[in-house]
Structure 1
Amino acid sequence: MIKQQHKKLIALVLGTVAIVSLSANAAFARDIEYKNGEVSVFVTPGEPTQIQFPGKITGGFKKQQSSLNLDKKETDLIVFATEGLRDRGEAIIVRLDDGRSYSVRIRLSDNTNPRDDVVSIDDDRSRLVSSDDNFDPTKEKNFKYAPSTTVSGLMREMVLAAEFGKQGISGYRVSERYKGETVISDGTMIAKIDKIFIGPSLWGYVLSTENLLDQTQQLNPATFRLDGTRAISASNWELAPRSLNIEQQIA
């Protein structure tokens, strides 16, 4: 059996990833498990912070003389703080279309609490209202396969797309904007972005890996477990030795 030097690796990441420069460092969402209390989000005046909620935003409240500029879109709330934000922060209320609401305190970032680039709020509470008049909570929903909105379902769809040429994943946008950008380079291996699947709550990365050693090496899944990673799959966990040019082969 001939081993391939280049392998495809799939990494699945929870929450929205704010990419500033993938050739340097990628910023991942800070996940917050909601526990019926006030949620603290740390911001820097003049810089945006994205808060992702587990449902569509329909309304909310902030004080009249607010130091915050808010821009909502579907499940996301973009926060811009002005220089008037005090150390104690400022509280806002966010309501979702399913009846749930959240108290969020926007605070100034510091050395202990750096600015949040993206915050993803996870809430296990049941929906308070249903948009489906015929909704039956006791009715079992059967899927032939796990839907692509779940970790296992998206992983399966990504494998089909990366290894079997499936065109697109329902509910996800495919981006090749950062194709070829290096995300890992440790002297033994290089991993570069092939494509990114962007969904409302999950982002999937397809990476191409290359062995830099003259000997076979096993891929270590822990190498790819960056903040927010939920699952990893590879077409082959073993990389063949790097290819030698003519001069190296003669030597």
Structure 2
Amino acid sequence: MNAPQPSDSVLIHLVGAGPGDPELLTLKAARVLSQAEVVMVDDLVNPAILEHCSKARIIRVGKRGGCRSTPQEFINRLMLRYARQGKRLVRLKGGDPCIFGRAGEEAQWLAARGIASETVNGITAGLAGATQCGIPLTLRGMSRGVTLVTAHTLDDTDLNWRGLAQGGTTLVIYMGVARLHQIQQGLLDGGMPATTPVAMIEQASLPDQRQHVCNLNKLCVQAQAFSLKSPAVLVIGEVVASSSLLAGQQSVEPVMALEPMLMGAVSG
């Protein structure tokens, strides 16, 4: 069966810029950006990505937790305005637009007003950060799946911590830096072993990426000592312990860049 082809009539593309490393941008995303007349870009997008759309008008519409953000309703109305003007618009989001990126909401809102959109996937930070640390999110005999969740919910309700703790999958938690105590306590109360390894990964895939490993029962203490800051993801599960790149990195000192680590391993 042939894959669906993008329509030339689509004016709005909801595009994932990936986790930060410009080389992780997809070819399709680069092509769509090169054709854009207007690009509405989120805060977490690496500025280097914008080199692919040097002739487009750039409008910054950042949305970050704990900071002053552009209202979603304003973003929606702006997309609609440019679509009605016949402009080729890219709504550029960090990571993947369908993983905590509101692409589904925006696509539905536009469709309700007769505007077609197309989503272009990007590599999500949880995957890229784990891979940079040598962590396989799934591993035969150890993890039968991966669960992506956000600690920041629309109505501020609690997650089903017991279900997550006993689900048998690797957990990747986004937007959790401000809720570390809730995450730690919820998983422990839900039955997850206190010795479960946790990787804290900050600035995933960027040159200044930092990572630190600890056990679940030490998460809050170690995060404070490590000075963990957003944007960051948590990878929780036994697969974390399988990483040779993180072996022995249980101190609170910043982890060295991956390239020097690899060079040291080769020379040793």
TM-score range (shorter-chain normalised) is under 0.3
TM (norm. structure 2) is 0.22
More strand by share: 1
Greater C-alpha radius of gyration: 1
More helix by share: 2
TM (norm. structure 1) is 0.23
